[in-house]
Amino acid sequence: MQIRSHLGFIGAAIVLASAGGAYAQNLTITNARILDGTGKVIERGAVVVRDGKIVSVSATAPTTTSGRTINAGGKTVMPAFVEGHRHLVTGDAAQWLTQRAAPQFQQFLEAGFTTVLAAIDPPQVVEARKRIEAGQMKGPRLYVGTFLPVAGATGPPPNGDPARTDPARGPLPTTPAPAVARDATIKAVESAKQTGYDYLKVVLNTTQNGPEVETLKLIVAEGKKHNMPTIVHAVSVRDTLAALEAKPDMLVHTPHIGSLGDDPAAVKKIVDAKIPMTSTLAVFVPHFDTNGAALFRDGQPFPWQTLSSAGQGPVNARLLWEAGLVYGYGTDTQWPPKETLADELRALRLVFSPQDIVKIITKNAAAATLHGSEFGTLEPGKLADIVIIDGDPMRDSEALLKVVTTIKAGQVVFEK
């Protein structure tokens, strides 16, 4: 019995070794054009990884190596991508976990994403995260959030995607929304913690003299007790400014309703709050299928009455960027990751340079998820989350769609 177990262990080791070093956490990348994520470019250099973390990034080839060596062949080596606002589960959640999660996660890895923040998803995503961390499933690093209401129900939810008929597009409701009981909010935070969620997510649509901001303040305070950051969905300038009063940890939408160009004081107030924001510009940019049909993120025909947001969002984004806001990549969509990236790039390119976009999808996206000290740049001590790209994204952001290798914490998780 012991011999059989030992042989089984050896066999498993051979299988892992034959997988091209996918489980090795020591590796060296040589002959690379390195973008370290801080703005520094090394035309020919090497990255050394030990125990899943970066130990050196330099123009000097290492004298000794450990583990696998990857010759990048002059291709671009840069930090892996971070998705700062995504929803993973569609349809039946149990079926998603057993049938659709693994291929979906593989799509993220193939697109270059090693970290995903699932802003509002059912507990099955918490289970998926456990399986990834235990090595039972291959996928990106997951952070998961759950929804907490800041006001009582004001009516039945809209049919279909709520972004089609967002109440933030209308005037400020003059009737205050009903309040959520304080005890109910406290218990909801405790339950979220017990379930294993990382973040608390709030959708903020204010009403005149309503309870929304005070409830948000309570959620932020209770979240801090449990080390759970609060992230806020605020899509209008009005609601974004209201959210600042509660001092949440993250804003997950560029305000696309209302012009910040008409209100420089609002720009200053948002930036001075020092709360990072994710882009999500592609929500209101049509997604075109293979026949050229314009679709919304729910797969249904695009609602052209929302199209103004496709222009106002990027304009507001650039104004906030120029004023110094930490602005990171996030999409709030459910298209496959590479298709979503292509859509978000189309929107970002309206107002951002290729150099800006590299920063947005790496360093800033990591900071926006509140994990910038752990990954997002290629610096000694950080997790070795790395992609190799066949192209130069500093000259053409389309190159970000040409990932040939993805490395997560020193493990090769995708090779084209």
What count of other Cβ atoms lies within 10 Å of the Cβ of residue 61? Answer: 13
- pLDDT exceeds cutoff 50 at 13: no
Ranges of beta strands (E only) in 59-140 are 68-71, 76-79, 81-86, 113-118
How crowded is the C-beta side of 352, counted as CA atoms within 13 Å?
Answer: 31
Contact 72, 320 (CB under 8 A): no
Q: What span, in angstroms and rounded, lies between the C-alpha atoms of 47 and 281?
A: 33
Mean pLDDT of all residues in the chain?
A: 92
Range 256-268 burial, b when 16+ CB lie within 10 A, else e: bbbebeeeeebbe
User: CB neighbours of 156 closer than 8 A, spacing ≥ 6?
Assistant: none
pTM of the predicted protein model: 0.92
| Mean pLDDT on 304-308 | 95
- pLDDT exceeds cutoff 90 at 157: no
Q: In a 3-state reduction of DSSP, which class is residue 402? A: coil
| Mean pLDDT on 155-184 | 84
- Predicted local distance difference test score (pLDDT) of residue 170: 87
Q: CA 301: distance to chain centroid?
A: 26
| Mean pLDDT on 350-358 | 98
Q: What span, in angstroms and rounded, lies between the C-alpha atoms of 278 and 264?
A: 20
- Predicted local distance difference test score (pLDDT) of residue 24: 57
- Predicted local distance difference test score (pLDDT) of residue 21: 42
Amino acid making up residue 246: A
Q: What dihedral do alpha carbons 172, 177, 181, 184 form, nearest 10°?
A: -80
- pLDDT exceeds cutoff 60 at 9: no
| Mean pLDDT on 199-227 | 97
Q: What span, in angstroms and rounded, lies between the C-alpha atoms of 116 and 184?
A: 29
Q: What percent of the chain has pLDDT over 70?
A: 93
* Exposed / middle / buried, residue 171 (Cβ in 10 Å: 0-12, 13-18, 19+): exposed
Model confidence band, residue 23 (pLDDT cutoffs 50, 70, 90): low
Residue that the structure tokens 């996206």 belong to: 365
Q: What letter would DSSP give residue 319?
A: H
| Mean pLDDT on 366-392 | 98
- Predicted local distance difference test score (pLDDT) of residue 154: 52
Contact 377, 38 (CB under 8 A): yes
- pLDDT exceeds cutoff 60 at 178: yes
- Predicted local distance difference test score (pLDDT) of residue 2: 39
Q: What span, in angstroms and rounded, lies between the C-alpha atoms of 85 and 280?
A: 8
Contact 364, 276 (CB under 8 A): yes
Q: What span, in angstroms and rounded, lies between the C-alpha atoms of 248 and 221?
A: 9
Report which of 390, 340, 385 is spatially closest to residue 81, judged by C-alpha positions: 385
> Which domains occur in the chain, in start order?
1-79+377-416 (2.30.40.10), 80-376 (3.20.20.140)
Model confidence band, residue 5 (pLDDT cutoffs 50, 70, 90): very low
Q: What span, in angstroms and rounded, lies between the C-alpha atoms of 375 and 370?
A: 10
| Mean pLDDT on 42-52 | 96
* Exposed / middle / buried, residue 56 (Cβ in 10 Å: 0-12, 13-18, 19+): middle
Q: What span, in angstroms and rounded, lies between the C-alpha atoms of 150 and 161?
A: 20
- Predicted local distance difference test score (pLDDT) of residue 60: 87
Q: What span, in angstroms and rounded, lies between the C-alpha atoms of 251 and 190?
A: 22
Distances (CA, A) of 126 to 55, 89, 104, 144, 252: 31, 11, 15, 7, 20
Q: Which residue has the higher pLDDT, 7 or 245?
A: 245
- Predicted local distance difference test score (pLDDT) of residue 217: 98
Model confidence band, residue 158 (pLDDT cutoffs 50, 70, 90): low
3-state DSSP percent of the chain in helix, strand and coil, to 5: 35, 20, 40
- pLDDT exceeds cutoff 90 at 280: yes
User: Residue 35 — φ and ψ, nearest 5°?
Assistant: -105, 110
What count of other Cβ atoms lies within 10 Å of the Cβ of residue 6? Answer: 10
- Predicted local distance difference test score (pLDDT) of residue 19: 38
Model confidence band, residue 17 (pLDDT cutoffs 50, 70, 90): very low
Q: What span, in angstroms and rounded, lies between the C-alpha atoms of 77 and 94?
A: 37
Model confidence band, residue 346 (pLDDT cutoffs 50, 70, 90): very high
- The pair of structure tokens assigned to 13 is 């080791």
- pLDDT exceeds cutoff 60 at 20: no
- Predicted local distance difference test score (pLDDT) of residue 62: 83
- Predicted local distance difference test score (pLDDT) of residue 172: 86
Distances (CA, A) of 380 to 47, 48, 404: 10, 9, 23
Least confident of 17-21, 170-174, 269-273, 393-397: 17-21
Report which of 397, 333, 385 is spatially closest to residue 359, judged by C-alpha positions: 397
